[in-house]
């Protein structure tokens, strides 16, 4: 059974940093591109970042470019999202996603507030 | 970015009646390989989005055949032939032809 389990969310102050993790099981992680997608409190969905199979290529939506970094550790079956210089607009549920066959985790809440 | 506009914003449907949701793209979603990467997702309250349809009209495994997708170029439609109680929630279209992938604003379906 494919499972994606996010962790690392919580309350962070504006300008602060946070690192999200996604533990994956049930499939050969190193064979798939992976992504992070977020959903705002207003229920708007935004595709945040993509990473290729070996982590050598990454893609970001303009709103997070230069602040967020997607990475992966294939030996640990894990996906990460390093978030820096966060603002209130980054408040959202962050989902770990395997685009092929569209598997989504349950999401982790990130709240940016002082 | 490809902007996806959904209509209506909300839908109130009697059980057993049909429902239809439109998704219009600001640019053609036809990819260079001839595919159109337009998907439909359904999100129930408190759950993650679940993909129903991909490449305009292909149903995900386990999706009931009362759900169907159609369209081409810039105009797409999700139809539910007979709405059931479990169909409540928010429906989103999504394009994967261009980076960044983008979603429509969502259509909320409720039972009348």
What integer is the mean pLDDT of B54-68? 97
What is the nearest CA distance from B33 to chain A, expressed in angstroms? Answer: 17
* Alpha helices for A1-114 (secondary structure H): none
- Residues from chain A that touch B99, judged by Cβ atoms under 8 A, are 50, 59
What integer is the mean pLDDT of B83-102? 96
What is the model's pLDDT at position B100? 94
Beta bridge partners of residue A22, listed in sequence order: A6, A79
What is the model's pLDDT at position B86? 96
CA-CA distance, A22 to A106, in Å (whole number)? Answer: 10
- Mean pLDDT value across chain B: 96
Chain B residue nearest residue A106, CA to CA: B48
Residues ≥6 apart with Cβ < 8 Å to B35: B55
Mutate to test the interface with B, among A46, A65, A102 (most CBs of B within 10 A): A102
Is B52 or B32 the better-scoring residue by pLDDT? B52
Is B64 or A100 the better-scoring residue by pLDDT? B64
What is the model's pLDDT at position B53? 98
- Largest Cα span, chain B: 43
Relative to beta strand A108-112, strand A10-12 is parallel
- The answer to whether the Cβ–Cβ distance between A62 and B96 falls below 8 Å is no
CA-CA distance, A100 to B35, in Å (whole number)? Answer: 15
Angle (nearest 5°) at CA A92 between A106 and A54: 65
A interface with B, Cβ–Cβ < 8 A, is 43-47, 50, 59-62, 95, 99, 101-102, 104-107
Q: What confidence category does residue B65 fall into, taking pLDDT thresholds of 50, 70 and 90?
A: very high
What is the model's pLDDT at position B89? 98
What is the model's pLDDT at position A101? 87
**For the segment A11-43, what is each residue's pLDDT rounded down to a tens digit?**
999 999 999 999 999 999 999 999 999 999 999
User: In 10 A of CB A44, how many CB atoms?
Assistant: 14
What is the model's pLDDT at position B34? 87
Model confidence at B32: pLDDT above 90: no
Number of residues assigned to chain A? 114
What integer is the mean pLDDT of B95-105? 96
CA-CA distance, B110 to B87, in Å (whole number)? Answer: 8
CA-CA distance, B48 to B80, in Å (whole number)? Answer: 20
What is the model's pLDDT at position B45? 93
Mean pLDDT by 10 residues, chain A (114 residues): 97 98 97 98 97 97 97 98 98 96 96 97
CB pairs under 8 A between A and B: 38
Q: What confidence category does residue B33 fall into, taking pLDDT thresholds of 50, 70 and 90?
A: confident
**How far lies A62's CA from each of A39, A49, A65, A98, B100, in Å?**
16, 10, 5, 21, 8
Name the residue among B3, B89, B98 with its Cα closest to residue B41.
B89
Cβ-contact B102, B1 below 8 angstroms: yes
């Amino acid at each position: 059974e494919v499972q994606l389990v996010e962790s690392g969310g919580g309350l962070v102050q504006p300008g602060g940093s946070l690192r999200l993790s996604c533990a994956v099981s049930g499939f050969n992680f190193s064979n798939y591109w992976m992504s992070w997608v977020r959903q705002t409190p207003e229920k708007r969905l935004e595709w945040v970042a993509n990473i290729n199979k070996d982590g050598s290529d990454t893609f970001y939506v303009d709103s997070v470019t230069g602040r967020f970094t997607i990475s992966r550790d294939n030996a640990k079956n894990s996906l990460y999202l390093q978030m820096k210089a966060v603002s209130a607009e980054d408040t959202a549920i962050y989902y770990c996603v395997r685009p092929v066959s569209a598997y989504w985790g349950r999401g982790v809440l990130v709240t940016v507030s002082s | 970015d490809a902007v996806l506009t959904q209509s209506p914003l909300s839908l109130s449907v009697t059980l057993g009646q049909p429902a239809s949701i439109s998704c219009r793209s600001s640019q053609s979603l036809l990819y260079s390989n001839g595919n159109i990467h337009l998907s439909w997702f359904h999100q129930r309250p408190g759950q993650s989005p679940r993909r129903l349809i991909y490449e305009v009209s292909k149903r995900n495994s386990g999706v009931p055949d009362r759900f169907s997708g159609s369209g081409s170029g810039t105009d797409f439609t999700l139809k539910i032939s007979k709405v059931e109680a479990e169909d409540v929630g928010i429906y989103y279209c999504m394009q994967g032809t261009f980076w960044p992938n983008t979603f429509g604003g969502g259509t909320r379906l409720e039972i009348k």
